[in-house]
Homo-oligomer: A and B are copies of this chain.
Amino acid sequence: MRESATRTKILDVASRLFYEQGYNSTGINQIIAEADIARGSLYNHFPSKRDLLTAYIQQSEDLWFAELDKFLESINDPKLRLLALFDFRAEKQLRSNFGGCQFTKIIAEMPKDDLNAFELVRHQKERIKNYIKDLLQQIDLKQPQVLSTNMLIDALFLIMEGATSSASVYKHVEAIRTAKQIANELLDIEPVSQRSSL
């Protein structure tokens, strides 16, 4: 059974609108108008707006990592791949005109008791953390490190999350570029080397 073209069209339009306008600010009416389909067709494929949201988050996660793999495919060195993760997020923010992280954004709109939405978003975040972890384990880190490997994973993840958030607040890519520089320093510690310190 192949994917219905109608279903695909609905999900594509809804995904764009959910991200650009927010989930709560996007009405069924606008979705069916822009997808140019009937109200009944939407409810045939998605029993409720909530089901449409679930499909949106799941498909977005798949697309996100597919895009990432493509973005990194020409880079072999694990350290450069790790740093390019920041470029990837910068590029996505630039392209979306600084709409912020799709997943974090949804969470901000959901009531706290919506366990399903939180679970879906955590899934994507865990995948990012694992991505970082895998790359980090391929890197031959100098000894001694400022941060233990586990703390380094967390630090890189948190800096990346904070930078994406900050970029969308400031509508500027600077925070993500800075985050990349910080990551580079943290990954390239030569304890006794000369560094500007003030």
Give residues in A with beta carbon < 8 Å to B. 20-22, 24-25, 97-100, 104-105, 107-109, 111-112, 118, 121-122, 125, 141, 143-149, 151, 154-155, 157-163, 165-166, 168-171, 175, 178-179, 181-182, 185-186, 189, 191-198
Residues of B within 8 A of A107 (CB): 100, 168-169
Closest 4 CB pairs of A and B: A162-B162, A191-B191, A158-B162, A161-B162
In this complex, what residue of B is CB-closest to A105?
Answer: B108
Residues on the B chain within 8 Å of A168, using CB: 107
Q: How many copies does the complex hold?
A: 2
Contact A189 B146 (CB under 8 A): yes
24 example contacts (A-B, Cβ-Cβ < 8 A) are as follows A22-B108, A24-B25, A25-B111, A100-B108, A107-B169, A108-B108, A109-B109, A112-B171, A118-B169, A122-B170, A141-B197, A145-B195, A146-B185, A147-B182, A148-B195, A154-B182, A158-B158, A158-B162, A158-B163, A158-B175, A158-B179, A161-B161, A161-B165, A162-B162
CB-CB under 8 A from A20, the residues of chain B are 112
The residue that A197 contacts in the complex, of B125, B143, B186, with Cβ under 8 A, is B143
- On whether the beta carbons of A148 and B197 are closer than 8 Å, the reply is yes
